[in-house]
């Protein structure tokens, strides 16, 4: 088995890992980043979902919870989930850091604010560009305003975006400011080595320290061992917990998994809105326990999120130009759990949406319905597996009857969080406020898995800001 040595070994090249790797390389450390997915440059990307989704997503986009009533989307490629993201940049709402602090995650708020500033500046974060707003989103915004609601423009890091609407399958135009286009190449420029198509199987622990990681590369599964002074696990929620469990680190690991999760409502209009022909996501509407995000997926993904079976589904897909979509996004409680499956030999994500989660989701779906009817929609289609429509605003309350159990409607998340919660109290947390795994002084975790509870908004900005905050603190421990 071959072996190589470095100062800092980062596992995962997504939002957390890329920033840590970049800062460590800028500080003159020798850095190796291990990424189990492929290194696909913009020039190798295209607008074919059939080609891109299996190459970029974990389990080809088919990862589910163990109850099979929630899909969970994550990236498996250099840049991690940021490569597939819309680069919506939202800071944690004011209540979040104090709530985390009361769990024992002592992140200095002033230093965190500076890290948010740094990340936003480096990525060129700005309000979404009006020239890329879709026809369907404009209608949603007009409908919301006519009801006296206050939708807000998203802040995004998209560079000179052309509004092709394909953010979720990469960025063939190389404008999106994902980690793939920013912190990863910036880290490389300072000497970091990216080992793509390479998976960390386990972390070797010896005498209270991480000694090495054992990796497999490529289809042949060639095995090697990487020795480092410091290791930073940044494989993302679920994956990072799975890796710690596989490495025999079990205390509190896998618990407190939460999600921003949601369902999509579809509205049919008489006139064409061409929602797909623009940036997918540019406005949002905050609500009571939910956020509404009008959006539009590329065609194949739209087919998966558009309800109906056979002829009904085909008819709706042929009406794509006339459809508008909006998601009701809720943040769940930290009730999920990652376990190592004795049957399958890999991790399982155990999570069931609570009645409160579903009630918040319904509230959001009702607001979406009111907004779309106010915007002139002819009818609405519920996210239920049985095809159900709402033909007028007076029937919106039927949502209460039909959206009750996640077994009966489509529900999913692209924002898993937690599993390795941060708390200085080792009896409840996995990492301390210094990002080190309790009891292992040179093994750190820095990704969405350390959130003690859901950040309640889109997480990239917070994951990156936390990594920027963590980097000097971790490097100072070498
Ligand atoms: C389609 C989609 C759109 C999104 N859009 C937005 C958005 O617009 N705004 C927003 O705020 N959030 C968005 N998100 C969520 C956001 O991208 C994630 O919350 C964030 O990237 C999480 O950062 P992370 O570092 O924890 O993990 P990731 O960014 O997922 O990176 C983890 C990386 O580690 C690798 N890895 C895991 N285990 C191993 C291992 N054992 N060995 C080697 N490598 C490993 C994975 O392959 C992956 O590349 C989106 C997510 C998806 C899927």
Same domain, 459 and 388: no
The whole-number pLDDT of residue 258 equals: 98
Same domain, 425 and 309: no
Same domain, 220 and 283: no
The whole-number pLDDT of residue 219 equals: 83
Ligand 1 atom with the smallest distance to the CA of 449 is 26
| CA of 448 relative to ligand 1 center, distance in Å | 8
The whole-number pLDDT of residue 345 equals: 79
Protein residue whose Cα sits closest to atom 15 of ligand 1: 415
Q: What residues does ligand 1 touch, defined as CB less than 6 Å away?
A: 11-17, 34-37, 73-77, 80-82, 84-88, 168, 199-200, 234-237, 239, 243, 414-415, 447-448, 458-461, 463
Ligand 1 atom with the smallest distance to the CA of 457 is 11
Query: pLDDT in tens for each of the 478 residues of the chain?
Result: 677 899 999 999 999 999 999 999 999 999 999 999 999 999 999 999 999 999 999 999 999 999 999 999 999 999 999 999 999 999 999 999 999 999 999 999 999 999 999 999 999 999 999 999 999 999 999 999 999 999 999 999 999 999 999 999 999 999 999 999 999 999 999 999 999 999 999 999 999 999 999 999 988 889 999 999 999 999 999 999 999 999 999 999 999 999 999 999 999 999 999 999 999 999 999 999 999 999 999 999 999 989 999 999 999 999 999 999 999 999 999 999 999 987 777 899 999 999 999 999 999 999 999 999 999 999 999 999 999 999 999 999 999 999 999 999 999 999 999 999 999 999 999 999 999 999 999 999 999 999 999 999 999 999 999 999 999 999 999 9
Protein residue whose Cα sits closest to atom 3 of ligand 1: 85
Same domain, 451 and 405: no
| CA of 468 relative to ligand 1 center, distance in Å | 16
Residue 327 belongs to some domain of the structure: yes
Q: How would you class 226 by CB atoms within 10 Å of its CB: exposed for 0-12, middle for 13-18, buried for 19 or more? A: buried
| CA of 460 relative to ligand 1 center, distance in Å | 8
Same domain, 386 and 465: no
Protein residue whose Cα sits closest to atom 4 of ligand 1: 85
Same domain, 385 and 302: yes
The pTM of the whole model exceeds 0.95: yes
What is residue 321's three-state secondary structure?
helix
Ligand 1 atom with the smallest distance to the CA of 240 is 38
Same domain, 18 and 90: yes
| CA of 48 relative to ligand 1 center, distance in Å | 21
Protein residue whose Cα sits closest to atom 14 of ligand 1: 85
Protein residue whose Cα sits closest to atom 16 of ligand 1: 460
Residue 314 belongs to some domain of the structure: yes
Ligand 1 atom with the smallest distance to the CA of 17 is 25
| CA of 101 relative to ligand 1 center, distance in Å | 24
> What are the pLDDT digits (tens) for 237-254?
999 999 999 999 999 999
Residue 47 belongs to some domain of the structure: yes
Same domain, 285 and 397: yes
Same domain, 384 and 290: yes
Protein residue whose Cα sits closest to atom 37 of ligand 1: 235
- Which of 216, 449, 460 has most ligand 1 atoms within 8 Å of CB, for mutation? 460
Domain of 174 in residue numbering reads as: 2-126+166-255+420-475
Same domain, 38 and 143: no
| Count of beta carbons in the 10 Å neighbourhood of residue 186 | 19
Residue 467 belongs to some domain of the structure: yes
User: What's the CATH code of the domain at 245?
Assistant: 3.50.50.60
Ligand 1 atom with the smallest distance to the CA of 156 is 8
Protein residue whose Cα sits closest to atom 39 of ligand 1: 235
Last residue of a domain, one of 380, 397, 413: 413
| CA of 160 relative to ligand 1 center, distance in Å | 23
Protein residue whose Cα sits closest to atom 26 of ligand 1: 236
User: What's the CATH code of the domain at 365?
Assistant: 3.30.410.40
For residues 204 and 206, what is the distance between their CA atoms, to the nearest angstrom?
7
Last residue of a domain, one of 413, 436, 465: 413
Protein residue whose Cα sits closest to atom 23 of ligand 1: 15
Residue 285 belongs to some domain of the structure: yes
Residue 161 belongs to some domain of the structure: no
Same domain, 194 and 330: no
> What are the pLDDT digits (tens) for 344-399?
778 999 999 999 999 999 999 999 999 999 999 999 999 999 999 999 999 999 99
The whole-number pLDDT of residue 474 equals: 98
User: Going by C-beta distance under 8 Å and a sequence separation of 6 or more, which residues neighbour residue 125?
Assistant: 89, 119, 155, 156, 157, 461
- Which of 20, 34, 75 has most ligand 1 atoms within 8 Å of CB, for mutation? 75
Could you please report the per-residue DSSP string of 78-141?
Answer: TTGGGGGS--B--PPPTTHHHHHHHHT----HHHHHHHHHHHHHHHT-EEPPGGG--HHHHHHH
Instruction: Say how many domains are in the chain.
Output: 2
Last residue of a domain, one of 364, 397, 413: 413
The whole-number pLDDT of residue 467 equals: 99
Could you please report the per-residue DSSP string of 266-315?
Answer: EEE-SS---TTSS-S--EEEE-SS-EEEEE---HHHHHHHS---HHHHHH
Residue 226 belongs to some domain of the structure: yes
Ligand 1 atom with the smallest distance to the CA of 58 is 47
Protein residue whose Cα sits closest to atom 2 of ligand 1: 85
User: Going by C-beta distance under 8 Å and a sequence separation of 6 or more, which residues neighbour residue 12?
Assistant: 33, 34, 35, 80, 233, 234, 235, 236, 239, 240, 447
Protein residue whose Cα sits closest to atom 27 of ligand 1: 236
Residue 160 belongs to some domain of the structure: no
Same domain, 106 and 144: no
């Amino acid at each position: 088995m071959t072996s190589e040595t470095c100062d800092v070994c980062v596992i995962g090249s997504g939002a957390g890992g890329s920033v840590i790797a970049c800062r460590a390389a800028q500080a003159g450390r020798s850095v190796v980043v291990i990424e189990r997915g492929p290194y696909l440059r913009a020039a190798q990307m295209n607008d074919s979902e059939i080609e891109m989704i299996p190459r970029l997503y974990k389990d080809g986009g088919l990862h589910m919870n163990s109850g099979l009533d929630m899909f969970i989307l994550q990236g498996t490629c250099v840049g991690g989930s940021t490569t597939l993201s819309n680069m919506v940049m939202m800071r944690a709402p004011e209540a979040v850091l104090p709530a985390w602090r009361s769990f024992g995650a002592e992140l200095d708020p002033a230093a965190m604010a500076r890290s948010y500033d740094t990340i936003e500046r480096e990525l060129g974060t700005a309000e979404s560009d009006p020239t890329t707003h879709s026809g369907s989103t404009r209608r949603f915004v007009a409908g919301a305003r006519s009801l006296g609601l206050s939708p807000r423009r998203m802040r995004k890091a998209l560079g000179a975006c052309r509004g092709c609407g394909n953010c979720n399958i990469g960025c063939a135009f190389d404008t999106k400011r994902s980690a793939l286009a920013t912190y990863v190449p910036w880290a490389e420029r300072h000497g970091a080595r990216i080992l793509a198509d390479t998976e960390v199987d386990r972390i070797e622990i010896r005498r209270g320290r991480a000694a090495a990681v054992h990796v497999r590369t490529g289809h042949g599964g060639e095995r090697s061992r990487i020795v480092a002074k410091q290791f930073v696990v940044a494989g993302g929620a679920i994956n990072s917990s799975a890796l710690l469990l596989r490495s025999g680190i079990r205390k509190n690991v896998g618990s407190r998994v939460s999600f921003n999760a949601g369902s999509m409502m579809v509205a049919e209009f008489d006139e064409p809105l061409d929602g797909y022909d623009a940036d997918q996501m540019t406005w949002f509407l905050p609500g009571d326990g939910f956020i509404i995000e009008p959006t539009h997926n590329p065609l194949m993904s739209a087919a998966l999120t558009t309800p109906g079976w056979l002829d009904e589904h085909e008819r709706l897909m042929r009406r794509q130009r006339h459809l508008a979509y909006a998601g009701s996004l809720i943040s769940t409680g930290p009730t999920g759990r990652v376990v190592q499956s004795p049957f399958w030999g890999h991790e399982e994500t155990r999570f069931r949406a609570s009645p409160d989660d579903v009630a918040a989701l319904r509230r959001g779906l009702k607001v979406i319905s009111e907004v779309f009817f106010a915007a002139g929609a002819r009818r609405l289609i519920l996210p239920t597996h049985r095809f159900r429509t709402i033909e007028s605003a007076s029937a919106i309350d039927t949502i209460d009857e039909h959206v009750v159990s996640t077994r009966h409607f489509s529900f999913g998340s692209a924002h898993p969080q937690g599993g390795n919660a941060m708390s200085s109290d080792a009896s409840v947390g996995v990492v301390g406020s210094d990002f080190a795994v309790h009891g292992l002084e040179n093994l750190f975790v820095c990704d969405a898995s350390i959130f003690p509870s859901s950040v309640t908004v889109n997480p990239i900005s917070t994951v990156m800001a936390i990594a920027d905050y963590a980097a000097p603190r971790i490097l100072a421990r070498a």
